[in-house]
């Protein structure tokens, strides 16, 4: 018996294996159709915490707290248990009350990446700085930045939904183009005035490919002080940062930035940096602690 037993076992294992292998290709698609449907998994709702909320060991306040999930975090839905859901946070599985969560929107706010830091110029905190103190080489001729263009297009599309028509009327400008522009302004306005609103060649943000002058439906306000009072300018001031832009030359900051108020001149930083600068209520020079 002692000798037979493993031998019989071996045969049984072999038979099961052969049967199993034979059945497997038939069963697999069948399984996909019934239980393990990937579609159902992807459709499971995501939730967002609406307050700092305890993740507990069980579905009730009598259960101990594992950790606290901060407000505004996205958490997955695992299963429901009364007025609690089972979820996971930082690798820990537990329960949170429905009271402190809401269903996450289908599309989380899009994020727009910061531009590459490999282009020539001065970088502070990873941000390319071009102002009256920091210039670009005359040979730097990148054209419009693709990420920034994508963000402008997304912003224009979003604005359109709110009945706001935006037009990028001046974007990338080469060194040579800027030289012609600046010289014309000097000829018509004098050097002192020209320097308040026009950059010298090599010192224009437009040469980075990251600056966009935006106007509204009425072109008579384009690049004019009157643009500030338009609904388009107000929309931009409120929403540009969501798409990675800042209003580069704010009102009353001429001494800091070197330029008078330009509610139309937007500079692309990527949404992460743009949100931080916006939140700080500072100019880019103040935010980076540099001279303009």
Binding interface with Zn ion (CB under 5 A): 213, 265
Task: Tell me the residue number closest to Zn ion, measured at CB.
Answer: 265
* CB-nearer residue toward Zn ion: 63 or 222: 222
- Least Å distance, CB 213 to Zn ion, is 4
* CB-nearer residue toward Zn ion: 56 or 265: 265
Angle between helix 146-161 and helix 231-239 axes, rounded to 10 deg = 120
As a whole number of angstroms, the distance between CA 3 and CA 66 comes to 54
- Least Å distance, CB 55 to Zn ion, is 49
Q: Are 69 and 75 in contact (CB under 8 A)?
A: yes
Token output for 92: 């820990």
Token output for 184: 């014309």
Residue 139 CB burial class (10 angstroms; 0-12, 13-18, ≥19):
exposed
- Least Å distance, CB 205 to Zn ion, is 7
As a whole number of angstroms, the distance between CA 86 and CA 77 comes to 6
- Least Å distance, CB 210 to Zn ion, is 11
* CB-nearer residue toward Zn ion: 59 or 201: 201
* CB-nearer residue toward Zn ion: 46 or 134: 134
As a whole number of angstroms, the distance between CA 179 and CA 138 comes to 10
- Least Å distance, CB 130 to Zn ion, is 11
DSSP string, 93-128: EEEEEGGGEEEPPSSPPP--PPPPS-SSSEEETTEE
Q: Which residues of 230-248 are buried (b: 16+ CB within 10 A; e: fewer)?
A: bebbebbeeebbbbbbbbb
Q: Identify the three-state secondary structure at position 138.
A: coil
- Least Å distance, CB 174 to Zn ion, is 14
* CB-nearer residue toward Zn ion: 204 or 273: 204
* CB-nearer residue toward Zn ion: 159 or 211: 211
């Amino acid at each position: 018996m002692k000798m037979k037993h493993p031998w019989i076992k071996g045969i049984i294992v072999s038979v099961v294996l052969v049967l199993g292998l034979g059945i497997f290709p038939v069963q697999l698609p069948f399984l996909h159709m019934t239980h393990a449907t990937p579609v159902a998994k992807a459709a499971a709702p995501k939730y967002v915490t609406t307050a700092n909320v305890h993740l507990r060991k069980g579905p009730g306040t009598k259960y101990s707290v594992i950790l606290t999930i901060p407000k505004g975090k996205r958490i997955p839905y695992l299963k429901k248990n009364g007025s609690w859901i089972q979820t996971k946070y930082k690798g820990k599985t537990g329960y949170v009350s429905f009271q402190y969560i809401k269903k996450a929107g289908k599309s989380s706010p899009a994020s727009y990446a910061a531009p590459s830091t490999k282009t020539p110029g001065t970088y502070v905190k990873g941000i390319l700085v071009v102002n009256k103190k920091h210039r670009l080489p005359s040979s730097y001729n990148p054209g419009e930045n693709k990420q920034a263009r994508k963000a402008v297009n997304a912003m224009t599309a979003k604005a359109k939904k709110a009945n706001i028509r935006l037009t990028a009327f001046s974007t990338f400008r080469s060194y040579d183009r800027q030289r012609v522009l600046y010289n014309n302004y000097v000829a018509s306005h004098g050097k002192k005035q020209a320097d308040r609103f026009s950059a010298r060649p090599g010192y224009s943000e437009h040469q980075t490919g990251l600056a966009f002058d935006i106007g509204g439906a009425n072109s008579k306000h384009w690049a004019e002080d009157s643009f500030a009072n338009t609904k388009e300018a107000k929309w931009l001031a409120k929403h540009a940062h969501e798409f990675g832009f800042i209003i580069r030359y704010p009102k009353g900051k001429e001494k800091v930035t070197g330029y008078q108020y330009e509610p139309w001149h937007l500079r692309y930083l990527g949404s992460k940096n743009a949100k931080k600068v916006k939140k700080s209520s500072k100019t880019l020079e103040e935010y980076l602690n540099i001279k303009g």
